[in-house]
Chain A
Amino acid sequence: MVYRGPYRVRVEEKDRPSIEHPNDAIVRVTRAAICGSDLHLYHGMMPDTRVGMTFGHEFVGVVDEVGPSVEHLRPGDRVMVPFNIFCGTCFYCARGMYANCHNVNPNATAVGGIYGYSHTTGGYDGAQAEYVRVPFADVGPSLLPDWMDEDDAVLLTDAVATGYFGAQLGDITEGDVVVVFGAGPVGLYAAKSAWLMGAGRVIVIDHLDYRLAKAAEFAHAETCNFTEYDDIVVHLKKITGYLGADVAIDAVGAEADGNLLQHVTAAKLKRQGGSPVALNWAIDSVRKGATISVMGAYGPIFSAIKFGDAMNKGLTLRMNQCPVKRQWPRLFEHVKAGYLKPSEIITHRIPLEHIAEGYHIFSAKLDDCIKPIIVPNAA
C-alpha cells in the first residue's frame, strides 16, 4: 500500500526492497496489522509523511534474502519483527532502550526508527506490503516459536508489548486501582496486563460501547462510557471513594481519531475521544502522588497538558515507546501459560488489495472494528 494524501491510500506496484546495508534482511510479509498510531499518518497529522510512503510496523514473515554480514538468520526462517528498528550497541541500546536507538534515525534525535512511520522516524518503508527491508537483522527479529500462532505473534510485535509496557510504567503494586483511558488494542492489553502485575481494580474508559464490552469480557475490567457523564473526572472520583485511581494509563494518544480541527472542538467541547483530553483527564482523575503512564502516540508538535495540576498533585509521569524485544521472553511465557491470548481482539481480516477499505473501516470505527489484520496477496 502507499499513502496518497490525508485519508487516501491505494495499492501500487513498487520495486521490491533491496539490501542497502550488509546487515539488512528482506522479509516476505505473511501477516501485518494496522495500528491505531497508523491513523496519525493516515490523517496527515504526523510531520514529514511523504506521498508514496508505505505504512505498517506490526508484522511477521519469512526471511527471503539476507545481507553479507547477517549471521543469525537464513532465508526461509519464520520471523517476528519488533516495530522498533535498533542497532543493539549504541548508548541507548546498550541500556535496553531499544525504542530510543541513536543509530537508525537521521531525521530526528527525539525518536528512534520505526517501520513505515513517516520520515520523522527514519524514512523506512513499512510492512503493509509483500516485502519489507529489515535493518539490523541480527538484532531486531526473533524466530517465531513453532507453538505460536501467527495471529498472536503479529500482535506481540507492538500492541501487546506496548500495552504490557504501559502497565509496567504504571509501577503497579498489589491492590492498586488502575484506570485505563482508551479501549483500543493497547488499552485492552494494558488492562489485561495490569492484573498480571497485581492490580486490585481495573477501570477502562472509552466512548465506544462495543470496545468497552470487549474490555469487560477480554480484560475482566469495569467499564465506563464517558459520553454518559457530564464530567468523567467527577464520576471517577466518586467510584474511587473520592480518592482517585492510583495509576492511570493513557492509551489514547493525540487525536487518534481526529484532525487539526478536532484540536479546537476537543478543547471547546471536552467531549472528544482524542487527546490531550485523555491525558488531561488522567491528570485530573488520579489521586495525589499517583503515576501516569503514557502509551498513546503523540507527535512532535506540542500539546496543551495540564502541567500545573500534575506538579501540584505530585504525579509521576512515565512514558516511552515500548522496547518490544525486551518484553518478548516474558510475554512468550504468558502466552504459553494461557494468561494472554493476543489474537482474541482481532475483528477484521483484510486482503492487501482492499487496504483503502481497511483503513476507512478502522479509522471511522465501522462494523465494530477493534483490530484489523492485513493478509498480503503473496501469503
Chain B
Amino acid sequence: MSISSQLDQDSGQLIISVAGRFDYSLHRDFRACYEHVSVEGIQLILDLSSADYMDSSALGMMLLLKEHAEKSQALALTIRKPSPAILKILEIANFDKLLKIEN
C-alpha cells in the first residue's frame, strides 16, 4: 500500500501517509482516507516523509484536502516532512504560501 491513514482520537490527529510516487493513480484511495471520516476539531496531517515524487495532480489532491479541512472544520492541514525533491515542487508551485509545511 502506498497510501495509508490513521485516525488518533486521543491526540486529535488524522495522519495520511503517502509512500513512493504521489500521482493521479492514488486519487481514489487518497479521497477515501478522509471523505467518510469525521474530522471536526481534528488536525489533518499529510505525511510525505516516504514519498519520493509528486506531480501536479498531487498538488490538486492537496488542494482538495485543504478544501475538505476548511469545509468540515478540521483544525489545520499540515504537510509533514516532504523530501527535498517534493519540497522543490511545492516551492515551484508556490504552495508553501498556501499550506503549512513542517520539516
Do A and B interact with each other, yes or no? Answer: no
